[in-house]
Amino acid sequence: MTIREEMKLVKLASPKLAATAGETRNAALEAVSAALLAHQEEIFAANRADMEQARQDGVPGPILKRLKFDEGKMRDVIAGIRDLVAMQDPLFQTQLKRELDEGLVLEKVTCPIGVIGVIFEARPDALIQISALCIKSGNCVILKGGSEALRTNKKLFEIIYGAVRESGLPEYCMMQLEARSEITELLECHESVDLLIPRGSNAFVQYIMNNTKIPVMGHADGICHIYVDKDADLDRAVPIIFDAKTQYVSACNAVETLLAHRDVAAELMPRLKAALDEKQVEIRGSREIADLIDCAPATEADDASEYLDYILSVKTVSDMQEAIDHINYYGSHHTDCIVTENAAAAEQFMNLVDSAGVYQNCSTRFADGYRYGFGAEVGISTGKIHARGPVGLDGLLSCKYKLYGQGQIVADYASGAKQFHFKDL
């Protein structure tokens, strides 16, 4: 069977999975937990082999750290599955119930999206989380993990798919791609795949977005800003900027550009520089900033750069509107923050900045499904169609309209013989 033929079978399985009861999907999640624990030694052994290979191939430290799957990570994913089981069934939820006329009742109910393709980095725990979210939400999933985790992923998929099949979920409700070349085939299967969620580098996500007709949810850039207002409390501003820049530099929600109101820049910058110097953060400043502190010169390219590194570009603005305009023009609509004690200014900033996350007086690093209390996330979306921001279970849902009648026909309403009365139930 070719990859394409198998994807068609996944598509055919999707209405069957969508119709399964919440208890069946929860039982499948419990079975997955049990099977993972029962086979953990095999999983760890496969992961050791992947780690060994990756070390031989000179894979860098941070990637090795994500690749590793040990007892601590197993505990976390098992806890995550338990949280999902405890959550209300997201499917068959009635969002609207309306009597259009006597004996003609409309219901809008939640349903899964269908078949979701997820392309993710070499992190075995991500495979488990994504699978669990898709099982809970009744979505068929096609998984393609980073190649460094090949052996671990193969083992995990075998265990998870086996457990869900034994629990009564339909054949082909999950599928795994192994070779990178299979991504090309996935991108072409718009008749079988309803949504793609690519995770990874900016260039990779851009590539996916430019090479498929399948709707794509996710984000390429993460150029986040902090604007320090003239009414900012600088005792708050400095630690917020320090955290947003240095707590984890390679995250998409780390700050890349600081916009300082001209009235506070002279007091802010020396204090900020002292803090950032601790972590050897390179500041690239506009000419005005260079007059205040010792820093490298910023060019326009810096305004549009996602450094993912210990670098921060800084410029002054003469008012909040200038900051808003800069963010809407150069930003990536991910997460942007205002530091101010002025509630009216904060509200204006938060309404006018066109981003998935708009913050007052806290670190941009909070933009994350776990930190929002969503339990888990499949990714963060900067698009405005469908889910926006961190995407948990909700973002994996669609809806359908059910209309229950007793023989009603449109001709009677078109002729005026009958009238709709629209009564919400």
Residues numbered 224-283 forming contacts with a copy of itself, rule: CB under 8 A: 233, 235-236, 239-240, 242-244, 247-248
Give the residue, chosen from 78, 87, 372, 418, that forms a contact with a copy of itself under the rule CB under 8 A: 372
Rg of the chain, C-alpha, whole Å: 25
* CB of residue 53 to a copy of itself, shortest distance in Å: 30
Cβ closer to a copy of itself: 15 or 200?
15
Mark 42-81 with x for binding to a copy of itself (rule: CB under 8 A) and - for no binding. Answer: ----------------------------------------
Q: Which of 9, 59, 308, 352 binds a copy of itself (CB under 8 A)?
A: 352
Q: Under the criterion CB under 8 A, does residue 362 sit at the interface with a copy of itself?
A: yes
Choose the binding region for a copy of itself from 65-73, 256-264, 273-281, 369-377 (rule: CB under 8 A): 369-377
Distance CA 172, CA 154 (A): 16
List the 174-176 sheet strands across, edge first.
174-176, 140-144, 115-119, 195-198
Q: How is residue 345 written in tokens?
A: 């200014």
Which stretches of 222-350 are assigned E, i.e. beta strand? 224-228, 255-261, 282-285, 296-297, 311-317, 335-339
- CB-wise, 103 or 270, nearer to a copy of itself? 103
Amino acid at position 112, single letter: P
Cβ closest to a copy of itself, residue 51 vs residue 324: 324
Binding segment for a copy of itself (CB under 8 A), chosen from 157-165, 173-181, 299-307, 399-407, is 399-407
Using alpha carbons, list the distances in angstroms from residue 277 to 5, 284, 285: 56, 13, 15
Q: 3-state secondary structure string, 281-305?
A: CEEEECHHHHCCCCCEECCHHHHCC
Position among 9, 19, 59, 63 found at the interface with a copy of itself (CB under 8 A): 19
Q: Report the residue from 10, 217, 252, 393 that binds a copy of itself according to the rule CB under 8 A.
A: 217
Mask 304-343, x = binds a copy of itself (CB under 8 A)?
--------------------x---x---------------
**Can you read off the two tokens belonging to residue 239?**
């630690």
Which C-beta is closer to a copy of itself: that of 20 or that of 152? 20
Residue type, 284: R
Neighbours of 190 (CB within 10 A): 13
CB 340 within 8 A of CB 229: yes
CA 313/CA 276 separation, integer angstroms: 12
Minimum CB separation from a copy of itself for residue 115, in Å? 10
Give the one residue of 363, 378, 379, 393 binding a copy of itself; rule: CB under 8 A: 363
> Is position 22 an interface residue for a copy of itself (rule: CB under 8 A)?
no
Residues 255, 226: Cα–Cα separation, whole Å: 7
Distances from the Cα of 98 to the Cα of 110, 236, 343, 423, angstroms: 15, 50, 40, 6
**For residue 282, what are the β-bridge partners?**
311
Of 72, 411, 417, 419, the one binding a copy of itself by CB under 8 A? 411
Among 85, 209, 249, 275, binds a copy of itself (CB under 8 A): 209
Q: In this structure, what are the phi and psi dihedrals at residue 168, rounded to the nearest 5 degrees?
A: 100, 5
Shortest distance, CB of residue 285 to a copy of itself, whole angstroms?
A: 23
Task: Assess contact for 338 and 364: CB atoms under 8 A.
Answer: no
Q: Collapsing DSSP states into helix, strand and coil, what is residue 88? A: coil
Number of residues that bind a copy of itself (CB under 8 A): 79
DSSP line for 37-69: HHTHHHHHHHHHHHHHHHHHTT--HHHHHHH--
d(C-alpha 146, C-alpha 247), whole Å: 25
* CB nearer to a copy of itself: pick between 35 and 216: 216
Amino acid at 214: I
User: Shortest approach of a copy of itself to residue 28 CB, angstroms?
Assistant: 18
45-53, 159-167, 303-311, 405-413 -> range binding a copy of itself (CB under 8 A): 405-413
For residues 111-170, which are near a copy of itself according to CB under 8 A?
A: 113-114
Give me the 373-392 binding string for a copy of itself, x by CB under 8 A, dash otherwise.
x---------xxxx-xxx--
* Interaction of residue 86 with a copy of itself, rule CB under 8 A: no
Q: Are 293 and 320 within 8 A, CB to CB?
A: no
Nearer to a copy of itself by C-beta: 154 or 386? Answer: 386
**Residues in region 188-207 near a copy of itself by CB under 8 A:** 194-195
